């Protein structure tokens, strides 16, 4: 993937990750023992990781061409990560995901701004017919953000995630290229 310069949203900037970003990124992901953002993430338990191991893994991924993961910044401050993964590359099927790690940026439209900027970029970059997003029913913020950008709930896998003694659904959202383009015509 070839990207020149940062991707500018209304309030966020998406920037390719560099080694210089790693201390701040580690800090917002791992420094707190029980960070607030984990409550909304998947829900999978956060495995503690020291900076040396984190840095080693991330540098290794960057050397392998980690170009699917970008830093989300607001006024030069890292607030999270956004990425895409090929669900099935030969079918041009990909999924996006993101994490907003700073509590004070959980609301205020930063998630939607980052997703909008990222999806717009991905539809321009790849000849893909659709962009998907998978989350869980406990993450209403992510579901709402996807729906606000025109994504539709395409599937629900009932009671597939156990969190704190309660079962939640896996929720799959998606938007087709023609839906994206039609919604963004002037």
Report yes or no on 145 lying in a domain: yes
Mean pLDDT (the chain, rounded): 88
Report yes or no on 138 lying in a domain: yes
- Quote the CA–CA distance of 146 and 93 in Å, as a whole number: 17
What's the Rg (C-alpha) of the chain?
16
Report yes or no on 36 lying in a domain: yes
Report yes or no on 160 lying in a domain: yes
Digit-coded pLDDT (tens) for 143-163:
999 999 999 999 999 999 888
User: How confident is residue 1, by pLDDT bands cut at 50, 70 and 90?
Assistant: very low
Identify the three-state secondary structure at position 56: helix
> What is the span of the domain harbouring residue 159?
7-183
* pLDDT given for residue 174 in this prediction: 97
Q: What global pTM score does this model have?
A: 0.89
User: How many structural domains does the chain have?
Assistant: 1
How many secondary structure helices (H) and strands (E) does the chain include?
A: 5, 8
Report yes or no on 163 lying in a domain: yes
17 touches 3 (CB < 8 A): no
Domain at 141, CATH number:
3.40.630.30
Report yes or no on 1 lying in a domain: no
């Amino acid at each position: 993937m070839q990207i020149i310069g940062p991707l500018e949203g209304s309030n966020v900037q998406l920037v390719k990750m560099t080694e210089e970003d790693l201390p701040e990124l580690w800090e917002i992901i791992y420094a707190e023992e029980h960070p607030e953002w984990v409550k909304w993430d998947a829900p999978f338990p956060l495995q503690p990781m020291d900076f040396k191991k984190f840095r080693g893994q991330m540098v290794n991924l960057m050397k392998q061409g980690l170009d699917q993961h970008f830093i989300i910044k607001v006024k030069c401050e890292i607030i999270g990560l956004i990425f895409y993964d090929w669900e099935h590359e030969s079918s041009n099927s990909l999924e996006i995901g993101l994490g907003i790690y700073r509590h004070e940026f959980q609301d205020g439209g930063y998630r939607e701004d980052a997703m909008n900027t990222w999806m717009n970029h991905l539809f321009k970059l790849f000849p893909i017919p659709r962009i998907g997003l998978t989350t869980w029913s406990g993450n209403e913020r992510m579901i709402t953000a996807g729906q606000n950008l025109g994504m539709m709930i395409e599937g629900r896998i009932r009671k597939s995630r156990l969190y704190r003694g309660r079962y939640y659904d896996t929720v799959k959202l998606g938007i087709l290229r023609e839906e994206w383009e039609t919604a963004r015509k002037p």
